[in-house]
Structure 1
Amino acid sequence: MLSPDSRAVAMDLLKPPPGYRIDRTVLTTYSLDLEVLLALPLAVLAQTDAGVEQLLLDPLMLLEAIREAGERIQIFVDEAGIAVPANGRALYGALESSVHPVKAPNGGVFHPKVWVARFVHDNEPPLIRVSVASRNLTFDRSWDIALTSEATPGKKTIAASKPLSDLLRRLPGLGDETLEDAVIADIQHLADEVQRTAFPAPEGFDSGLGFYVLGLGKQRAHWSPVEQATRILAIAPFLSDKALQKIARLASNESLLVSRADQLSQLETDLANDWSVVQVLSPTADVEAEDESRLRPSGLHAKLMVFEWGHRATWFIGSANLTDAAFTGRNVELMASASGPKGRPGGKGIGINLFMESGFQSLCEDYQPAEYAPEEESAQEAATKLKQAREALLGAELRVSCRPAEDDWQMAVQGGIALPQGVTLTAWPLSLEGHQAKEWQDGVSWYLPIARLTAFIAFSIAVDGHDERLDLAIKLPVEGMPEERIHHVLRTLIDSPERFMQFLRALLGGLEEIAGLIGDSSGQTWNFAGGQGLRGEPLLEDMLRAASRDPQRLLPVRRLIADLRQSEEGRKIVPDDLYVVWQVVDSVLNDMEAQ
């Protein structure tokens, strides 16, 4: 179980085992916070334990980490799941190649939370790690649950792993975006290896992991995790009457339900008829966010079902709530399962009693029914209009177009949106702050420097006469985006010779050494004329070594230096004596490219 203050979980799930390095990973999530994603490449690939907030203080190092990680991390998120960040950042543009909005084929939401990572070792076969969780890629302060397993691919197909493999194969086709051939090939290769991997269950279970994917085929009457059980424990934040009844009826003896009071109070069914025990989290278990300036979801968010029969128990962990949308396949969901001996009090096992007595029971209290107070009619109408406007926005064929203007670039968002009457829509690029939003009138445009161009557009939907609003960010197709845009993002962050040398150090040392630069306040300066500065070794020697071993690493340097040397200001950042050193390295790169 993941407590609300487990901030490092995402980083831990992707940290390589000793001696390994991360090769590629695929992440799926219902909702996505881009600030989390900014920190993830550096925290994982550089293997630093610095906090997210600290990592965000050094965007230069982040950008280089993102550059190196871009081909290794692919995130698939529900088309409406990208949250509007608190701050506008040009750096968000560097994430676009890794973020892929997708849709649920049956009209629900794309809801799985599974991470699949491939680690490689110079002298060992690859290692595949899978993490199935209820936590999204966000800063949520909720009680969640995660299950992690890793193993080496074999030669034979593992039937229990095939559903997870099938999900990976389907991901590139679930969105409107056309992914690069190399990205698709990497995902397919990862799917092939997953299909040949037998993932072991955690300690206490004696089965391997099995996977269940809902929502990729036709909708079904109702998914039943098991045929029958004597006892059931079901934990989920969101509920529906029909799904609850069907799950409860699988138990011949006792059924326990843990959910949220606000969800329980809205049910029409009589819970006492179906569930022996109904509980909610105690108020003392709800940890308040440290950052009161930004509201973060909290409370119960874990999704878990435990079924007992005889002396055994089977667990199901993943993304599915106890709702019809999840269990009939309207949503895309993924659940992992494992079985083992349920055990006896005071002993070992994976049964319901042992789980509750291990600490979870102390977080819960009996649910006290309260009369549900439905929203006033005007509030219901406003909520309906917000939903209609959201669907119209997601269904509109919007595009971003970029074209050079006199001093800057004109970036326009164009397309028709059939908004309900009485609804106001505003939009702004995520590279800008929200106060620079403009009201939608058959399109909207801004004049921006090249570094601020982006495919991520924020939208805010408001209903006239009501305070409620709905904010979401969408990654839109782009026409005319200049190829050098990310290079200009980089240039805005390198404004001194010292920062340029930091950038070189990151490139030459690799991500494993970037972590040491975080929070470096030594104020060290660099002696360009001597060609020194990188760990006391000659700068020329370091760059020549990089050119011979990994020439791709120095290509950003070539582009950046060429751009900087075109202006007087840039020549102060890359002075003549450093440029002489670079010309030697550049000639080596040219010779290698000619071979």
Structure 2
Amino acid sequence: MLSPDARQVATEILRPPAGYTLDRTVLTSYSLDLEVVLALPLAVLAQSDRGVEELLEDPLLLLEALREASGRVQVFVDASGIALPRVQRELYAALEASVHPVRAPGEGVFHPKVWVARFTGEQDGRVLLRVAVASRNLTFDRSWDVALVSEAEPGAEAEPGAEAEPGSEPLAALVRGLPGLAVQPLARPLTEDLASLAEELGRTRFPAPEGFDGAIDFHVLGLGGPRGAPWRPVTEADRVLAVAPFVDRRGLDTLAASGAGSLALIGRDEALDALPEGTLAHWEDVQVLQEAALAEADDGTVGRSAGLHAKLIAAERGGRASWLIGSANLTRAAFSGRNVEVMAELSGAAGSADSERGVGIDRFLAGFQRLCTPYQASQRPEAEDEAAAARRELEAARDDLLERDLAVRCEAGEAVWRWRLAGQLPEREGVAIDVWPVTLPAEQARTWPEEPAWGLSMQQLTAFVAFRLRWLEGEEELEPVTLVAKLPAQGLPEARMQRILRTVIDSPERFLAFLRALLGGLEDVADWALERPADPDSAGWGERLEAETLLEDLLRAAAREPERLETVRRVMDDLMADAEGREVVPEQLRAIWQAVDGALQEESQR
């Protein structure tokens, strides 16, 4: 079980091993915070252990990390799962090519939480694949989760017609099938990259962690929709432990049908309270997390939830223990194939609670059960039924909205651009829908059917659209349903990223300081962004910004790491593209850069 801190989990999973670089990564999630996707490339490429909130404070640092990570980080998220961001950032425009809404073919939700990272050796180009199967979404939620991480080199390429490794082929099928689940067509290069990655996954056997036997087997549910018999995660067992935040009668009865003499369940109070009477009759041990375990740590980080979110099933039989870890809750939607889910299976000798060997249920509970307390049923208030019905109406309106043929249209004007939402939003009795570009604060939302159009600067243009669905009936105020949709967009100018760059590099001093740090790599940029003096005119600041002092750094980089100057070239080209950008590039630096760049061009042509 992992500490509820998304930052540590994310950076550790994607951080390259010594001697390797991150080539590409594919992330799947049911829900997504855009700020997490902003922070991941930064934390991984800059190899920074700083807090996410600190790293997000400097847009210049973020922009360069995103540019360097372009094409390497691809996120596939359920179409309804992009959360409304807490902070409006123009940098969200940089994520549009990396975030891909998808839908489950079985009319449920796209629910897997799988990360596949491909690393290449810096010296020999060897390929290393790392896979993480988790219960955590790509959010800042501070919940109790579980994750399984393993890495291995792909096996030899199979002969034509030969079968792929059976344990990893389901995972390969998921990656291979992502283009078919995408709401909008994927670019051909990305589709080809996914096919190539899937081929490598299919011939890779990922070793189980220490204490378990052999390799990991993967189960992918729902790619074909709810066809055939429901998945039975446990067929025969003497003892079963199940942990999940969401449960229903069908899911629990499926596990009880294993015939296990001992059934134990750890869940959430509210989900257990909602079960029909008698559902828990077969479960002799039912527990929930204690209040102390649910409390958030007072460390200044941001989080929305501190509840149980781990999903696992453990079964013992004949001294052996099998574990299933991943995204599936104990529900009909998960087991029937309506949802797309991924579970990883591993097994080993059960052992005992006080044994240093073995991977049985008792050993797990010896550490985790101290956080739990016996479940005590509570009666739901009558008003909850009305609130639940209203919530279903809002969710139905959301689903209807996501099925609509909507698009973003952008038109250039004399001073500002005109951004508007094209298409018809659903009109349901009792439901109001607010809409606005995600780069604007929610206070500037328009309520449908008021025309959803705004005058925006170029850097505020975006394909991400925020929606808020409010319930208007009844006396009790109901929390609105909010989401962000990535829509097809026409008229977005190619110069948006350059304009964002010029917004954050707004003076020669700021540019020179950034360029100096950039020559040292993203680590130095992080130090510069977070430790620079607050007052540019403070003692020593101007002296360090003299353009001539950069010549030595440029020449050193050209001699030792010429590839590092590619980033400098991109920044210079963007700024020199028009008069506004040229104002922040000192004339002396232009001459120095032209000389260095010219020498590099001549060297590359030899």
Into which bin does the TM-score normalised by the smaller protein fall? over 0.9
- 1:582 deviates by 3.0
Once structures 1 and 2 are overlaid, which stretch shifts more, 245-254 or 126-135?
Answer: 245-254
Checking the alignment, whether the CA contact within 8 Å between 1:529 and 1:578 is kept in structure 2 is: no
User: Which residue of the partner structure matches residue 286 of structure 2?
Assistant: 278
- Cα distance in 2 between the residues matched to 1:386 and 1:129: 39
User: Which residue of the partner structure matches residue 135 of structure 2?
Assistant: 134
Residue among 503, 510, 521 paired with 1:499:
510
After superposition, where does 1:373-388 map in structure 2 within 5 Å?
373-375=381-383, 378-388=386-396
Checking the alignment, whether the CA contact within 8 Å between 2:470 and 2:481 is kept in structure 1 is: yes
- 1:539 deviates by 3.4
Instruction: Specify the SS of the correspondent of 1:120.
Output: strand
User: Which residue of the partner structure matches residue 520 of structure 1?
Assistant: 531
Checking the alignment, whether the CA contact within 8 Å between 1:289 and 1:296 is kept in structure 2 is: no
Checking the alignment, whether the CA contact within 8 Å between 1:498 and 1:526 is kept in structure 2 is: no
User: Which residue of the partner structure matches residue 149 of structure 1?
Assistant: 150
- 1:92 deviates by 0.8
Q: Which amino acid letter does the alignment assign opposite residue 397 of structure 1?
A: D
After superposition, where does 1:472-487 map in structure 2 within 5 Å?
472-487=483-498
Distance 1:345-1:594 versus aligned 2 partners, 3 A rule: closer
- 1:481 deviates by 0.5
Per-residue deviation, residues 459-481 of structure 1 (Å, max 9, x unmatched): 11112144431111111110011
- 1:58 deviates by 1.4
Per-residue deviation, residues 505-536 of structure 1 (Å, max 9, x unmatched): 455444354343342225644667763237xx
- Cα distance in 1 between the residues matched to 2:467 and 2:299: 24
After superposition, where does 1:190-589 map in structure 2 within 5 Å?
190-219=197-226, 220-288=228-296, 290=298, 296-347=304-355, 348-357=357-366, 359-375=367-383, 378-441=386-449, 443-465=451-473, 466-505=477-516, 507-511=518-522, 513-521=524-532, 524-525=541-542, 531-533=548-550, 537-539=552-554, 542=557, 549=563, 552-563=566-577, 566-567=579-580, 570-585=581-596, 587=598
Instruction: Specify the SS of the correspondent of 2:213.
Output: coil
Q: Which amino acid letter does the alignment assign opposite residue 171 of structure 1?
A: L
User: Which residue of the partner structure matches residue 89 of structure 1?
Assistant: 89
Instruction: Specify the SS of the correspondent of 2:230.
Output: coil
Once structures 1 and 2 are overlaid, which stretch shifts more, 234-243 or 250-259?
Answer: 250-259
Once structures 1 and 2 are overlaid, which stretch shifts more, 243-252 or 77-86?
Answer: 243-252
Checking the alignment, whether the CA contact within 8 Å between 2:6 and 2:139 is kept in structure 1 is: no
User: Which residue of the partner structure matches residue 182 of structure 1?
Assistant: 189
- 1:283 deviates by 1.1
Instruction: Specify the SS of the correspondent of 2:260.
Output: strand
- 1:372 deviates by 2.9
- Cα distance in 2 between the residues matched to 1:377 and 1:360: 34
Q: Which amino acid letter does the alignment assign opposite residue 10 of structure 2?
A: A
- 1:381 deviates by 4.2
- 1:123 deviates by 3.4
Q: Which amino acid letter does the alignment assign opposite residue 334 of structure 2?
A: A
Distance 1:428-1:240 versus aligned 2 partners, 3 A rule: same
- Cα distance in 1 between the residues matched to 2:487 and 2:257: 45
- Cα distance in 1 between the residues matched to 2:278 and 2:147: 31
Residue among 172, 176, 180 paired with 1:165:
172
Checking the alignment, whether the CA contact within 8 Å between 1:343 and 1:351 is kept in structure 2 is: yes
After superposition, where does 1:97-112 map in structure 2 within 5 Å?
97-112=97-112
Distance 1:529-1:208 versus aligned 2 partners, 3 A rule: closer
Q: Which amino acid letter does the alignment assign opposite residue 219 of structure 2?
A: Y
- Cα distance in 1 between the residues matched to 2:190 and 2:406: 24
Distance 1:593-1:446 versus aligned 2 partners, 3 A rule: farther
User: Which residue of the partner structure matches residue 78 of structure 1?
Assistant: 78
- Cα distance in 2 between the residues matched to 1:378 and 1:528: 64
Once structures 1 and 2 are overlaid, which stretch shifts more, 249-258 or 548-557?
Answer: 548-557
- 1:206 deviates by 1.0
Percent identity between the two aligned chains? 48
Q: Which amino acid letter does the alignment assign opposite residue 13 of structure 1?
A: I
- Cα distance in 2 between the residues matched to 1:38 and 1:458: 17
- Cα distance in 1 between the residues matched to 2:265 and 2:547: 70
Distance 1:120-1:263 versus aligned 2 partners, 3 A rule: same
- Cα distance in 2 between the residues matched to 1:527 and 1:163: 56
Checking the alignment, whether the CA contact within 8 Å between 2:45 and 2:69 is kept in structure 1 is: yes
Cα RMSD, aligned residues only: 2.4
Checking the alignment, whether the CA contact within 8 Å between 2:79 and 2:183 is kept in structure 1 is: no
Once structures 1 and 2 are overlaid, which stretch shifts more, 249-258 or 575-584?
Answer: 575-584
Instruction: Specify the SS of the correspondent of 2:530.
Output: coil
User: Which residue of the partner structure matches residue 63 of structure 2?
Assistant: 63
Checking the alignment, whether the CA contact within 8 Å between 1:551 and 1:589 is kept in structure 2 is: no
Checking the alignment, whether the CA contact within 8 Å between 1:455 and 1:477 is kept in structure 2 is: yes
- 1:273 deviates by 2.5
- Cα distance in 2 between the residues matched to 1:408 and 1:582: 34
Checking the alignment, whether the CA contact within 8 Å between 2:100 and 2:183 is kept in structure 1 is: no
Checking the alignment, whether the CA contact within 8 Å between 1:16 and 1:119 is kept in structure 2 is: yes
Does residue 113 of structure 2 align to residue 113 of structure 1? yes
Checking the alignment, whether the CA contact within 8 Å between 1:47 and 1:515 is kept in structure 2 is: no
Distance 1:141-1:487 versus aligned 2 partners, 3 A rule: same
Count of residue pairs the alignment pairs up? 588
- 1:183 deviates by 1.6
Checking the alignment, whether the CA contact within 8 Å between 1:531 and 1:540 is kept in structure 2 is: no
Checking the alignment, whether the CA contact within 8 Å between 2:239 and 2:315 is kept in structure 1 is: yes
Distance 1:380-1:353 versus aligned 2 partners, 3 A rule: closer
Per-residue deviation, residues 93-121 of structure 1 (Å, max 9, x unmatched): 11111111000011000000010001111
- Cα distance in 2 between the residues matched to 1:100 and 1:277: 41
Instruction: Specify the SS of the correspondent of 2:229.
Output: coil
- Cα distance in 1 between the residues matched to 2:349 and 2:174: 30
Once structures 1 and 2 are overlaid, which stretch shifts more, 304-313 or 507-516?
Answer: 507-516
Checking the alignment, whether the CA contact within 8 Å between 1:312 and 1:351 is kept in structure 2 is: yes
Task: Name structure 1 gaps, 5 residues minimum.
Answer: none
Once structures 1 and 2 are overlaid, which stretch shifts more, 284-293 or 66-75?
Answer: 284-293
Instruction: Specify the SS of the correspondent of 2:214.
Output: coil
- Cα distance in 2 between the residues matched to 1:428 and 1:590: 46
Per-residue deviation, residues 292-320 of structure 1 (Å, max 9, x unmatched): 99760221100000010001000000000
Once structures 1 and 2 are overlaid, which stretch shifts more, 462-471 or 223-232?
Answer: 462-471
- Cα distance in 2 between the residues matched to 1:510 and 1:177: 35
- 1:593 deviates by 9.7
- Cα distance in 1 between the residues matched to 2:451 and 2:602: 49
- Cα distance in 2 between the residues matched to 1:462 and 1:454: 24
User: Which residue of the partner structure matches residue 11 of structure 1?
Assistant: 11
Q: Which amino acid letter does the alignment assign opposite residue 462 of structure 1?
A: R
Once structures 1 and 2 are overlaid, which stretch shifts more, 418-427 or 330-339?
Answer: 418-427
User: Which residue of the partner structure matches residue 161 of structure 2?
Assistant: none
